[in-house]
A = this chain, B = another copy of it.
Amino acid sequence: MDVRVIELKNGYGIDALTVSERPDPVPGPNQIVLELRALSLNYRDLLVVEGTGRWRAPLPRIPVSDGVGVVVDTGPGVSRVKAGDRVSPAFYPAWIDGEPDPEKMASPLGGAVADGLMAQYAVAHEDAVVRVPAGLSDEEAATLPCAAVTAWNAVVCRGRIKPGDTVVTLGTGGVSLFSLQFAGMLGARVIITSSSDEKLARARGLGAAAGINYRKRLDWPTAVLELTGGAGADHVVDIVGNLNDAVAAVRVGGAVAFVGLLTGMKTEVDLVALMGKSARVEAVDVGSREMFESLNRAIAFHGVRPVVDKVFPFAEAAEAFKYLAGGAHFGKVCLRF
């Protein structure tokens, strides 16, 4: 019996996404088979679907890195999980622990090298999956592998954030809202930016101490300075990649976690400003299984729920991608099987 998948088959672009079939997966030694329940979409999935730059994959390719499923079959030697467990595959299946390196990051799911999870069933190594918190719905759990791990790595692992520090997150996409939630857990004061006052109000409901409408305040870094007595934020989680803005908003000795490049592949950096801030800019590219497990523990303890904006049926994947591309979301866009 074959498995229904959605893949890029003959070309790139949202409209090139095609329902297709793959052979029924058979788990090898230490492998498991998952029946997928829900997926979530990331901006990076859009780059893969569009075939952009280094995200252009050979075809056919099943996109989407993030999902949650139930273990339905286990290969020889499997001991970390068992049939019936609800798990998520890690974004980087080989990055278990420790610092990043090319070997650990060789095969991200749903990218240029390996298929992703837009499928009824998927195979994974038992070491590459993580049990997700029981209190989350499937859609909520499906939001974690890329966006939440990235935010955890940026804010908790790299951030050196103390209670009372000020953290700025840009926009209201998945990584930014998780950053808001994790920075809040660490006792930080969070400032969030958005083009919409209504989204800023919702972000306040999630714990943001202040919001800046960057449509009204094109000089939002100046607004951050105003909100911090002129000092600047201790930390900026920059999903945009406009590093000059992030550096302008940060205090002397502060840090920028560069976590995404929403507005372009290049940016001009003012070296005098960077030096003047003695700033640290750290590129954060998702994270390890250990980080995923840590954040699950924190989410479960705090009873925090990932923010799901909208859920589309699996068959409407193309609509979901278009909705994501439109940028109107607050939190995550998901698919449900």
CB within 8 Å of B: which residues of A? 29-30, 53-54, 76-77, 96-102, 105, 156, 162-164, 182, 185-187, 189, 231, 241, 243, 251-253, 258, 261, 264-272, 274-285, 288, 290, 294-295, 297-302
A105 contacts B258, CB within 8 Å?
no
CA distance A279 to B274 in the complex (A): 16
Given A29-B77, A290-B98: A275 in contact with B283 (beta carbons within 8 A): yes
CA distance A112 to B100 in the complex (A): 33
CA distance A45 to B157 in the complex (A): 37
Given A271-B266, A294-B164: A187 in contact with B186 (beta carbons within 8 A): yes
B164 contacts A298, CB within 8 Å?
yes
B98 contacts A54, CB within 8 Å?
no
Closest chain-B Cβ to A42's Cβ sits at a distance in Å of 14
B283 contacts A278, CB within 8 Å?
yes
A301 contacts B253, CB within 8 Å?
no
> Helix, strand, loop or mixed for chain A's interface?
mixed
With both beta carbons as reference points, the residue of chain B lying nearest to A243 in the complex is identified as: B269
B300 contacts A164, CB within 8 Å?
yes
With both beta carbons as reference points, the residue of chain B lying nearest to A294 in the complex is identified as: B162
With both beta carbons as reference points, the residue of chain B lying nearest to A75 in the complex is identified as: B29
* Residue of B53, B97, B251, B270 touching A265 (CB-CB under 8 A): B270
Closest chain-B Cβ to A61's Cβ sits at a distance in Å of 19
Given A185-B187, A282-B280: A268 in contact with B266 (beta carbons within 8 A): yes
Inter-chain contacts of A290 with B (CB < 8 A)? 98
Q: 12 A–B contact pairs at CB < 8 A?
A: A29-B76, A29-B77, A98-B98, A100-B252, A105-B278, A164-B300, A258-B274, A265-B271, A267-B268, A278-B285, A281-B281, A281-B282
A270 contacts B275, CB within 8 Å?
no
Closest chain-B Cβ to A113's Cβ sits at a distance in Å of 13
A102 contacts B186, CB within 8 Å?
no
Closest chain-B Cβ to A290's Cβ sits at a distance in Å of 6
A301 contacts B189, CB within 8 Å?
yes
B269 contacts A266, CB within 8 Å?
yes
New contact pairs (12) apart from A101-B253, A164-B298, A280-B281, CB-CB < 8 Å = A97-B97, A98-B288, A102-B252, A162-B294, A164-B302, A187-B302, A243-B269, A266-B268, A266-B271, A268-B269, A269-B269, A277-B283
Closest chain-B Cβ to A87's Cβ sits at a distance in Å of 17
CA distance A98 to B252 in the complex (A): 13
